[in-house]
Amino acid sequence: MSVPLHDRVAALTAALDAGEGRLPAATVADGRAVLARVGERAALSAEHTVVALAGATGSGKSSLMNALVGEDIAVPGVQRPTTGEALAAVRGAGAEPLLDWLGVRRRHGLPGGPGAAGSRLVLLDLPDHDSVVEAHRLRAEHLIERVDLLVWVVDPQKYADAALHERYLRPLARHADVVVLVLNQADRLAPAEVDAVLADLRRLAADDGLPGVRTLAVSARTGQGVPALRDLLDDAAERRRVAVARMTADVEVAARRVLDACGAAPGRRRGRDDAGLPALADALAEAAGVPVVVEAVRRAAVRRASARAGWPPVRWLARLRPDPLRRLHLATGVAPGRRRGRSGSVDPAEPGAVERTSLPPAGPAARAAASSAVRRYVDGATTDAPDAWALAVRDAVGAADLADDLDRAVGGTALLPDRPGAWVRVAGLLQWLLLAAAVAGAAWLGALAGLAYLQLPVPRTPEWGPFPVPTALLAGGLLAGALLALLASVLARVLARGRARAARARLVAAVTQVARDRVADPAAAVLGDLATCREQAQRAAGDRGR
């Protein structure tokens, strides 16, 4: 089923919109011009069929015009330049706006005209396409672009003229339905020679992209073939299809130019290349200083646990050591009610979010690796894209402020919980209890020593097994506190590695989101436009199944 003209027009419009700035400027300009012509022609008389007699000087267009209408309305020229302005023979009322749009001022009404009554026809005698006067050639080309049916009149001497085929017939490839090739002055040839010339003319037309084009041999002088040509024109005017066929062919040709500029269709669907994201994210994470941050998270987790679960008399020493994360100006957690992004990072719009870290800048090797990763991603995504689209992807991706985005992503990621783990709080409480026991034991022993020094009666001291209770409290509190601090230190180091791995996962997720937002999604948007441009151009060209 053929795609209707209005659907083709809409599809070509969508294709040009999607390819604006990436398609060749000439392709876009030609496509817009075709759309404008089609829109203007569709708004004018659909009752009239516009037929143009086009040809070179001496081909006999004017004589053929007279033979077709049955009146001497066109004056054949005898020297160059001949026809300088188009002449219209009009059958049927209401063609004035159409002729105004065509720019044809010389008009001749046909009261009866050739062919069936009621059919409306505008027959044009065009200026010579090979005129030595440039203005004449431009008028002819202007009308050739706009008429519904083109009748190319050639003569036996110049039917194979290279200028005719290269400049006029080849650009009309895919217009075979609205082109008729007429060999005039056939009376100068023998019947066998007429057949040979027509066969050669059809061969040349096929080479020009017009296979199956209709060909006729006529003689304006003797009338040979004129009735057959007149019947053909009358049939076109009766059916009123050639105008749509011409507009459809114009849209198809413009759409195929767009398709050529879009390149071959890819073997896979266009979109974001998620398979290439991990490698890109790893390189960007290295450039963003994620390994440095992960190590800082591990040391900060150990410091926090030691400061809360260590032996109280010396735990202040841990607090004297600088916090590795604070030195880097990094967030350690998210306060209640604060929002997180999709990757677990803090929303930078929230009050207190880190805008800039104090991470050391990436070294040359890391920056080069990140740039190479971005290039590899873009190259992989644009493997089968035309150069203009590949350049558009590179422009859309950019990397000017990628470092700032990565820094903000790292700075906005929650690295450690706001509160230490439950085991830290329990260990800290136990440490205070053990210290209180040791202090109580020391005070008890001190009191006993004071009584003995004053030679006062010393009360009996209770015992726990072989040890007096004060001694057990003092020694047990000190030894148990030291042992608990040692165990807490070992456990803190083990769990800190888990904290560091979790922080790395969140950091990589945040960096991956930057890679999506700054590299993958912009690239996918451009390649999505390419896919849209190609798909819509295929529809405009009538290729439903491609």
pLDDT at residue 49, as a whole number: 93
Pairwise pLDDT comparison (450 vs 115), residue with the higher score: 450
Cα–Cα distance, 250 to 145 (Å, whole number) = 9
DSSP track, 127-163:
PPTT-SSHHHHHHHHHHHTT-SEEEEEE-TTTTT-HH
Cα–Cα distance, 537 to 256 (Å, whole number) = 7
Q: What pLDDT digit, counting tens, does each position of 506-544 carry? A: 999 999 999 998 899 999 999 999 999 999 999 999 876
- Cα-flanking dihedrals φ and ψ of residue 463, to 5°? -125, 150
pLDDT band at 403 (very low <50, low <70, confident <90, very high): confident
| pLDDT above 50: residue 83 | yes
Instruction: Give me the amino acid identity at 482.
Output: A
| pLDDT above 70: residue 144 | yes
pLDDT at residue 360, as a whole number: 60
Domain boundaries, the chain: 1-46+243-262, 48-239, 274-421+497-540
pLDDT band at 79 (very low <50, low <70, confident <90, very high): very low
What are the CB-based long-range contacts (under 8 Å, 24+) for 396-403?
396/522, 396/523, 396/525, 396/526, 397/518, 397/519, 397/522, 397/523, 398/518, 398/522, 399/371, 399/374, 399/518, 402/284, 402/370, 402/374, 402/514, 402/518, 403/287, 403/288, 403/361, 403/362
* Residue count (the chain): 546
pLDDT at residue 348, as a whole number: 44
Q: Give the closest residue to 52 by CA, choosing from 128, 110, 124.
A: 124
Q: Dihedral through CA 157, CA 163, CA 168, CA 173, nearest 10?
A: 90
pLDDT at residue 339, as a whole number: 41
Cα–Cα distance, 238 to 232 (Å, whole number) = 10
Structure tokens at 342: 């999709």
pLDDT band at 50 (very low <50, low <70, confident <90, very high): very high
Cα–Cα distance, 106 to 97 (Å, whole number) = 14
Pairwise pLDDT comparison (462 vs 337), residue with the higher score: 462
What DSSP state is assigned to residue 340?
B
Structure tokens at 149: 């049916």
Is cis: bond before 417, omega within 30 of 0? no
Please, are residues 324 and 300 in contact by the beta-carbon 8 Å criterion?
Answer: yes
Residues 393-404, mean pLDDT to the nearest whole number: 78
Cα–Cα distance, 334 to 353 (Å, whole number) = 9
Please, are residues 214 and 180 in contact by the beta-carbon 8 Å criterion?
Answer: yes
Cα–Cα distance, 356 to 329 (Å, whole number) = 8
Pairwise pLDDT comparison (336 vs 502), residue with the higher score: 502
pLDDT at residue 332, as a whole number: 60
pLDDT band at 36 (very low <50, low <70, confident <90, very high): very high
Q: Give the closest residue to 281 by CA, choosing from 161, 374, 176.
A: 374
Percentage with pLDDT > 90 across the chain = 40
* SS3 call for 49: strand
β-strand pairing of 179-183 with 149-154: parallel
pLDDT at residue 301, as a whole number: 84
Cα–Cα distance, 265 to 256 (Å, whole number) = 13
pLDDT at residue 149, as a whole number: 95
What DSSP state is assigned to residue 274?
G
pTM of structure: 0.74
Q: What pLDDT digit, counting tens, does each position of 470-487 carry? A: 888 888 888 988 898 888
Cα–Cα distance, 325 to 327 (Å, whole number) = 5
pLDDT at residue 202, as a whole number: 94
Q: Give the closest residue to 472 by CA, choosing from 433, 445, 432.
A: 445
Please, are residues 346 and 412 in contact by the beta-carbon 8 Å criterion?
Answer: yes
| pLDDT above 70: residue 29 | yes
Cα–Cα distance, 356 to 315 (Å, whole number) = 31
Please, are residues 183 and 159 in contact by the beta-carbon 8 Å criterion?
Answer: yes
Percentage with pLDDT > 70 across the chain = 86
pLDDT at residue 222, as a whole number: 93
Residues 81-107, mean pLDDT to the nearest whole number: 86
- The CATH classification number of 48-239 equals 3.40.50.300
Cα–Cα distance, 220 to 72 (Å, whole number) = 12
Please, are residues 49 and 122 in contact by the beta-carbon 8 Å criterion?
Answer: yes
pLDDT at residue 318, as a whole number: 64
Mean pLDDT of the chain: 84
pLDDT at residue 338, as a whole number: 40
β-strand pairing of 87-91 with 120-125: antiparallel
Q: What pLDDT digit, counting tens, does each position of 276-328 carry? A: 788 888 888 888 888 888 888 888 888 888 777 777 877 666 666 777 777 77
